Chains A and B, each alone.
Chain A
Amino acid sequence: MGGRTDVKKLIAALALASATALTLVAGASTAPSQTTSLTIYSGRDQALVKPIMDRFQRESGITLNIRYASSATLATALVEEGRNSPADIYWSQEPGTLGLVAARGLLARLPQKTIGKVPSRFTTRSRRWVGTSARSRVLVYNTQRLQAAQLPQSVWGLTNARWKGKIGIAPTNASFQAFLGATIHLFGESRVRAWLEGLKENDAAFYPNNTTVVQAVGRGDVEVGLVNHYYLYNLLADTPSLPVRNHWFRDGDPGNLVLAAGVGIVASTEKAAAAQRFVDFLHSRWAQRFIARGPGAAEYPVIKGVPRRPGLPQLSSIKGPKYNLGRLAADLTPAVRLLLEEGFIK
């Protein structure tokens, strides 16, 4: 009770803080006008791409406002915002979300010069997006619990009772959904539904993202996990003793799907030149080298002549299923629907 001085102190604190807060608000609304700035919607993890963003800002003098979220969330936001979108660039983890945004006329056409820089399987004929790196789906496994020879030769084999309680997946992850979409296209919805039900039967553990899957495999909470190949190297950089390795299924297996991360310029941008500069930067030798061999990085470069990380198999030696990434925009929606219907996303 009784504390008149407390009241005075609180009033003083409130006044001071509201003054601070008002300065914050004023600052936020006036800041981006003098120098050129770009608003980037990044589906790529901050932990993976921040140095690239930093270097671009230093070299170009262009300020980046970056919204980090999942590729799907950002695609939804772009569609919801329509022409009002503050975004200039959409950098996604995978081609399906880019395709969906492009299909609604929200991505600008890229110059042939940009498209020509990358292999045709990592872009589309409509030139609305272009690959920035390539990656493969893999099975990670705990080397203390398992020998490579014990691992399944196909992703379909994970429904075998031998893997009960030992599988980790990240159902909300864009690359997992892309893999599922491609598999639905290649093998039909009912077969994929049965596979998902088999995983449920096997008590597959759900994790929020690829990093947490690999960590869980490292701790031995689960023995195997479905992820992209490069997350392992990101964690190995911090913990060289992590008992986890990548495993590829047999040639042509859908579990080896090779995907691309890609970028597009938002059609409503008023800063097309600066946006193009950002896209060009992602294809620069420095950025490509960083994506491929920077600290903790291990993706495949998409520009010729940039070497991959030592120890990785050649990209051409990874035999995924025959699948055109341009189809993903159409195949992603059924994948997400299936995950919701089967309770993988609740």
Chain B
Amino acid sequence: VSAQAAATASSPGRRAPLLLVLAAALIGAAATLPVAYLVYRAVTADAAARALVPLETTVELTVDTAALAAGVVLSSLLVGVPLAWLVVRTDLPGRRAWGVAASLPLVIPSFVAALALLGALAPRGLLQNLLEPLGVDELPEITGYWGALAALTLSTYPYVFLLATAGLRAVDPSAEEAARSLGSGRLAVFLRVTLPALRPSLAAASLLVALYVLSDFGAVSLMDYPTLTTGIYARYEALLAIEAAAILALVLVALTVMVVLLAARVRQRGAIYRSTPGAGRQAEVVRLGAWKWPALAFCTTTTAFFLVLPLGVLTWWTVTADPIVGRGGVDWDAALNSLGAALTTALAAAVVVLPVAALAWRYPSRLSRSLERLTLFPSALPGIAVGLALVFFGSRAGFLYQSFALLLAAYLIRFMPYSLAATRASLDAVSPRLEEAARSLGRSPLGASASVVFPLARSGILAGAALVCLSTIKELPATLLLRPIGFDTLATEIWAGTAIGAYSTVAPSALALVAIAAPLVYLLSWRDAWELGAAD
């Protein structure tokens, strides 16, 4: 989001309409109040509740959670950045296809990734079945740290790939050319010029990955790697330990906020700017020559492991019956619920963030910026913390409790930051002169917005909606805590199946989830919307 555009869009002379300010304030408050209540419950918890969060366990869980986040960030960078470089900068055969293959795992939620990896690689999984004739009757365990790392890398490296791709396209090639002309080798240029220029994109991508890992519940549960989220859930499920869950949730929120602050610092250091504004030139295409073969091997390996393997396992389970648990089918009611909830959330988020976005765009002030930040804050909140906060909230406000409205509220709080970031980014690209011209030609303020501003901002708003949809469909922990009685989604159905060990029977539902999510990713990549993750 460029500050310059924001400055020209502003109308500092005019006072914001009171109604708009009130609406925005209401939304900012709604985004933060439940968490404030969570803090209140955690702080006022009695000694008995505190005893259920032993210091040793807390430290262990925090360290393990942080170690996993760091590991996944590193591995997703190691996979995503080279892929992006190969696709954007080289003459690799089939670049476009490799690019699509690299972004597709985005539709695979972490718990589905974990499920598929377990099915394929567990000590007595499908791979062992294949190797049986060779005398292999057991493969090593893949659960624990490395299993969780693999599943989460699968689900998150596309963030790095997509943001690095966008970043590489935006890097000014003249700095690289200057370095080359001064005698630096290609690797040195990449490490000393290209990589630092990518720093903001990679910092943003790393933050997205880290936030994903910190809030992940499904993959770490299936991989039996205890983290803060599983600790919170265990206390929620254990007897009368819900306030202990709140305390641990607070630890998780603190860790998340620290990660956000760290990412902001990394991002600001040592930026490299474009030498000229405006349309940049394309960077020179690197001819791979004989390096083509290792490059192709790398692309083939990552695609095989991160895309073909999980989808292959799910398909295999869908078409064959497991000897012990039999065969399952797609739960269509759950699919309809998933779709309905996701689209309702996306639509509601797009509408709800409008006052905040409009206020920040048209009437920049300390107040409007604070309200915007308040509304963006929950993007750093793990779903389980939001869910727990609303369980507390809802059980005291009886009529809302276990209603679809409360679940929707959780989705909205958690995901409306995406909508806000996208809407703001696209509004900033709209010159207020256009709106003023429409007004001068006799349009009402609302009429001018509807006929002039909205069409220009539409694609950004839709990209935000698509991201909200995608995130809602994949959401698990808050859904588990808040769903109304009898309201199953694909995510909860898959979860329930894994809990009773019926991995293969939920494969059709997992495939259905992936099939619903895939078009959304297409929409997103179609509109370079990846920068919206980067837009603070």
Q: Please give the residue numbers on chain A whose beta carbons come within 8 Å of chain B beta carbons, in ascending order.
A: 1, 3, 6-7, 10-11, 13-14, 17-18, 20-22, 24-25, 28-29, 39, 47, 65-67, 69-70, 72-73, 75-77, 79-82, 84, 86, 96-97, 100, 172, 177, 206, 208-209, 211-212, 215, 218-219, 221, 238-239, 332-333, 336-337, 339-341, 343, 345-346
Cβ of B499: which chain A residues have Cβ within 8 Å of it? 208-209, 212
From B124, B230, B401, B465, give the contact of A346 (CB < 8 A).
B230
CA distance A10 to B343 in the complex (A): 11
Given contacts A211-B500, A340-B238, A346-B57, contact A18 B459 (CB under 8 A): no
In the assembled complex, the CB of B12 is this many whole angstroms from the nearest CB of chain A, namely 33
In the assembled complex, the CB of A29 is this many whole angstroms from the nearest CB of chain B, namely 7
A239→B324 contact, CB < 8 A: yes
Given contacts A65-B485, A72-B239, A340-B238, contact A21 B344 (CB under 8 A): yes
A21→B57 contact, CB < 8 A: no
From A86, A100, A172, give the contact of B401 (CB < 8 A).
A86
A238→B240 contact, CB < 8 A: no
In the assembled complex, the CB of A45 is this many whole angstroms from the nearest CB of chain B, namely 8
A332→B239 contact, CB < 8 A: yes
A346→B61 contact, CB < 8 A: yes
B395→A340 contact, CB < 8 A: no
B395→A97 contact, CB < 8 A: no
B239→A100 contact, CB < 8 A: yes
From A1, A17, A206, A333, give the contact of B340 (CB < 8 A).
A17
CA distance A70 to B237 in the complex (A): 7
In the assembled complex, the CB of A94 is this many whole angstroms from the nearest CB of chain B, namely 11
A76→B242 contact, CB < 8 A: yes
CA distance A80 to B391 in the complex (A): 9
B312 within 8 A of A: no
1/0 per residue, CB under 8 A from A, across B307-345: the answer is 000000000000000011110000000001101110110
1/0 per residue, CB under 8 A from A, across B162-187: the answer is 00000000000000000000000000
A333→B239 contact, CB < 8 A: yes
A21→B341 contact, CB < 8 A: yes
Return 9 A-B CB contacts under 8 Å, by A number: A6-B526, A7-B458, A24-B404, A76-B240, A80-B392, A84-B397, A86-B402, A340-B54, A340-B241
In the assembled complex, the CB of B389 is this many whole angstroms from the nearest CB of chain A, namely 13
Closest 10 CB pairs of A and B: A84-B398, A17-B343, A21-B344, A346-B226, A21-B340, A72-B239, A81-B395, A67-B485, A65-B485, A18-B347
Cβ of A82: which chain B residues have Cβ within 8 Å of it? 395
Cβ of B500: which chain A residues have Cβ within 8 Å of it? 47, 209, 211-212
CA distance A97 to B347 in the complex (A): 42
CA distance A206 to B225 in the complex (A): 12
Near A by CB (< 8 A), chain B positions 368-396 give 391-392, 395-396
Cβ of A345: which chain B residues have Cβ within 8 Å of it? 234-235, 238
CA distance A2 to B240 in the complex (A): 55
From A18, A66, A76, give the contact of B486 (CB < 8 A).
A66
CA distance A221 to B224 in the complex (A): 15
CA distance A34 to B122 in the complex (A): 51
In the assembled complex, the CB of A275 is this many whole angstroms from the nearest CB of chain B, namely 16
Cβ of B108: which chain A residues have Cβ within 8 Å of it? none
B324→A238 contact, CB < 8 A: yes
B405→A14 contact, CB < 8 A: no
In the assembled complex, the CB of A81 is this many whole angstroms from the nearest CB of chain B, namely 5
CA distance A133 to B341 in the complex (A): 39
B51 within 8 A of A: yes
B54→A29 contact, CB < 8 A: no
Cβ of A17: which chain B residues have Cβ within 8 Å of it? 339-340, 343-344
B231 within 8 A of A: yes
B280 within 8 A of A: no
Chain B residue nearest to A340 (CB atoms) is B52
Identify 19 new A-B residue pairs, CB closer than 8 A, beyond the known A65-B486, A66-B486, A76-B236.
Answer: A1-B526, A6-B523, A6-B526, A10-B465, A10-B466, A14-B465, A67-B485, A73-B237, A84-B397, A86-B401, A97-B239, A215-B501, A218-B324, A238-B325, A239-B324, A336-B238, A337-B52, A345-B234, A345-B235
Cβ of B302: which chain A residues have Cβ within 8 Å of it? none
Chain B residue nearest to A97 (CB atoms) is B239
Q: Please give the residue numbers on chain B whose beta carbons come within 8 Å of chain A beta carbons, in ascending order.
A: 51-52, 54, 57, 60-61, 123-124, 224, 226, 230-231, 234-242, 244, 323-326, 336-337, 339-341, 343-344, 346-347, 391-392, 395-398, 401-405, 458-459, 462, 465-466, 484-487, 499-501, 523, 526-528
Main secondary structure of the interface of B (DSSP, over half): helix
CA distance A73 to B244 in the complex (A): 14
CA distance A307 to B346 in the complex (A): 56
A172→B234 contact, CB < 8 A: yes
In the assembled complex, the CB of A91 is this many whole angstroms from the nearest CB of chain B, namely 14
Chain B residue nearest to A242 (CB atoms) is B324
CA distance A6 to B323 in the complex (A): 44
Chain B residue nearest to A45 (CB atoms) is B500
Chain B residue nearest to A71 (CB atoms) is B239
B343→A7 contact, CB < 8 A: no
Chain A residue nearest to B234 (CB atoms) is A345
CA distance A328 to B500 in the complex (A): 27
CA distance A346 to B325 in the complex (A): 29
A29→B466 contact, CB < 8 A: no
B226→A333 contact, CB < 8 A: no
Chain A residue nearest to B222 (CB atoms) is A208
CA distance A339 to B238 in the complex (A): 10
In the assembled complex, the CB of B463 is this many whole angstroms from the nearest CB of chain A, namely 10
In the assembled complex, the CB of A319 is this many whole angstroms from the nearest CB of chain B, namely 28
Cβ of A1: which chain B residues have Cβ within 8 Å of it? 526-528
A10→B240 contact, CB < 8 A: no
Given contacts A17-B340, A84-B398, A238-B324, contact A336 B466 (CB under 8 A): no
Cβ of B401: which chain A residues have Cβ within 8 Å of it? 81, 84, 86
In the assembled complex, the CB of A76 is this many whole angstroms from the nearest CB of chain B, namely 5
Given contacts A24-B340, A345-B238, contact A14 B347 (CB under 8 A): yes
CA distance A69 to B527 in the complex (A): 42
Residue from B57, B326, B405 with most neighbouring chain A CB atoms (10 Å): B57
Cβ of A22: which chain B residues have Cβ within 8 Å of it? 344
Cβ of A21: which chain B residues have Cβ within 8 Å of it? 340-341, 343-344, 347
A72→B237 contact, CB < 8 A: yes
A238→B326 contact, CB < 8 A: yes
Cβ of B486: which chain A residues have Cβ within 8 Å of it? 65-66
B54→A341 contact, CB < 8 A: yes
Chain A residue nearest to B124 (CB atoms) is A219
In the assembled complex, the CB of B429 is this many whole angstroms from the nearest CB of chain A, namely 15
Chain A residue nearest to B526 (CB atoms) is A3
CA distance A39 to B466 in the complex (A): 36
Chain B residue nearest to A27 (CB atoms) is B404
A18→B343 contact, CB < 8 A: yes
CA distance A39 to B339 in the complex (A): 26
Chain A residue nearest to B480 (CB atoms) is A69
In the assembled complex, the CB of B501 is this many whole angstroms from the nearest CB of chain A, namely 5
Cβ of A6: which chain B residues have Cβ within 8 Å of it? 523, 526
CA distance A80 to B498 in the complex (A): 28
Cβ of A340: which chain B residues have Cβ within 8 Å of it? 52, 54, 57, 235, 238, 241, 244
From B323, B405, B462, B484, give the contact of A10 (CB < 8 A).
B462
Residue from B51, B465, B500 with most neighbouring chain A CB atoms (10 Å): B500
Chain A residue nearest to B53 (CB atoms) is A340
In the assembled complex, the CB of B126 is this many whole angstroms from the nearest CB of chain A, namely 15
Cβ of B462: which chain A residues have Cβ within 8 Å of it? 7, 10-11
CA distance A14 to B342 in the complex (A): 10
